[in-house]
C-alpha cells in the first residue's frame, strides 16, 4: 500500500525527504504532477498612505525599505532574492539554506522544510508587488520604487472599495510516496511528523492482518481499521485513526503482495 507522506513545491525538498526515507529502509517513489488552487478573495488596491489602517501595509513598509536598498544598483534576480530573504527573514533563510545544502539535522529538518515553503510563498508576493510598481523583472531586477508605493491587499471578506476576484494558480509539485508494507517488513523507523503518519498507517495494516487470525468475514474485518494510538513520538496526545475509506485499498495491497486471498466476501491469509 502506497502512502503519500507529503507534497512539495520544490524538487529538491522532495528529493531530500525521499532520501531520508530510503536511508531508513523504506521503499519510496517521487511523482511529479501539476497542482492547482482556486481561491475566492477580495482585493484592495491603493497607495501605502491610502491603506494605512491595514496591518499588511506596515509589514510591507519594512519590505519596501529592503527593496529600495537592493535596487540602488543593478542586481541579478538570484542575488536579489537571496539578499531580500536574508534581510527580511534571516532565521528562516538560514534554515531553508540548510535544506538546499543538505546540512539540516534531523531535529531541524521539519522546521527547515516549513521555512523554505514560507519563503517561497513570500517571494511570489514580492514579485507581484514589484510588478504593480513597474519594476522590471527579467534576468535582473531594475527600477526605482516610488516613495508611496502601490499595494494590493488580499481580504477574505468584502469591504467598501474592494473588488471580488478569483485566483487560479497552477504550480509544479512533487509527491513523496512510501510503500507501507516495506516499512513493516524492514522494521523501519522514520522521524518527524511524516514518520508518525507512516507509523500509524503501518499499525492499521498490521492490525488488519492480525484481524484475519480472528475472522475471514469482510464486514467484520472493517472493525480492525479503527484504533487509538496512545503513544507516538510524532504526536503529543492520543491519535484516533480511521482508515475505513481505504479498506479496499489495503486489501488489494495485501492481495497483490501475496499475503491474503480474497474469494467473494471471504478473506484468508495465505500460508
How confident is the model over 86-128, as pLDDT tens digits?
999 999 999 888 877 778 777 788 788 888 888 988 998 899 9
Does residue 269 sit within a domain? no
Q: Are residues 56 and 134 in the same domain?
A: yes
Q: Are residues 127 and 15 in the same domain?
A: yes
Contact present, 86 and 93 (Cβ < 8 Å): yes
CA–CA separation, 21 and 56 (whole Å):
39
Does residue 183 sit within a domain? no
Q: Are residues 195 and 171 in the same domain?
A: no
Q: Are residues 31 and 105 in the same domain?
A: yes
Does residue 230 sit within a domain? yes
pTM above 0.75, yes or no: no
Does residue 268 sit within a domain? no
- The domain of 230 spans 191-259
CA–CA separation, 12 and 103 (whole Å):
13
Crossing angle (nearest 10°) for helices 106-132 and 55-70: 90
Q: Are residues 25 and 157 in the same domain?
A: yes
Contact present, 175 and 31 (Cβ < 8 Å): yes
- Total structural domains in the chain? 2
Does residue 182 sit within a domain? no
Task: Select from 167, 147, 145 the least CA-distant residue to 43.
Answer: 167
How confident is the model over 163-173, as pLDDT tens digits?
999 888 888 99
Amino acid at each position: 500500500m502506497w502512502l503519500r507522506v507529503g507534497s512539495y513545491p520544490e524538487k529538491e525538498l522532495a528529493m531530500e525527504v525521499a532520501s531520508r526515507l530510503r536511508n531508513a529502509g523504506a521503499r519510496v517513489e517521487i511523482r511529479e504532477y501539476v497542482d492547482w488552487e482556486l481561491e475566492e478573495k477580495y482585493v484592495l488596491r491603493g497607495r501605502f498612505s491610502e491603506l494605512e489602517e491595514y496591518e499588511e501595509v506596515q509589514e510591507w513598509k519594512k519590505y519596501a525599505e529592503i527593496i529600495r536598498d537592493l535596487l540602488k544598483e543593478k542586481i541579478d534576480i538570484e542575488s536579489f532574492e537571496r539578499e531580500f530573504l536574508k534581510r527580511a527573514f534571516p532565521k528562516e533563510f538560514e534554515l531553508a539554506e540548510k535544506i538546499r545544502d543538505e546540512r539540516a539535522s534531523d531535529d531541524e529538518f521539519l522546521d527547515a522544510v516549513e521555512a523554505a515553503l514560507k519563503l517561497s510563498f513570500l517571494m511570489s508576493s514580492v514579485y507581484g508587488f514589484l510588478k504593480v510598481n513597474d519594476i522590471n523583472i527579467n534576468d535582473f531586477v531594475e527600477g526605482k520604487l516610488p516613495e508611496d508605493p502601490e499595494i494590493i491587499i488580499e481580504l477574505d471578506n468584502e469591504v467598501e472599495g474592494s473588488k471580488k476576484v478569483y485566483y487560479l494558480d497552477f504550480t509544479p509539485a512533487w509527491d513523496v510516496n512510501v510503500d507501507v508494507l516495506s516499512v513493516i517488513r524492514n522494521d523501519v523507523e522514520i522521524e518527524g511528523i511524516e514518520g508518525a503518519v507512516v507509523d500509524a498507517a503501518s499499525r492499521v495494516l498490521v492490525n488488519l492482518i492480525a484481524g484475519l487470525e480472528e475472522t475471514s468475514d469482510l464486514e467484520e474485518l472493517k472493525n480492525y481499521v479503527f484504533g487509538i494510538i496512545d503513544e507516538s513520538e510524532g504526536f503529543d496526545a492520543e491519535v484516533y485513526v480511521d482508515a475505513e475509506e481505504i479498506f479496499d485499498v489495503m486489501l488489494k495491497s495485501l492481495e497483490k503482495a501475496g499475503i491474503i486471498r480474497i474469494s467473494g466476501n471471504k478473506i484468508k491469509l495465505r500460508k
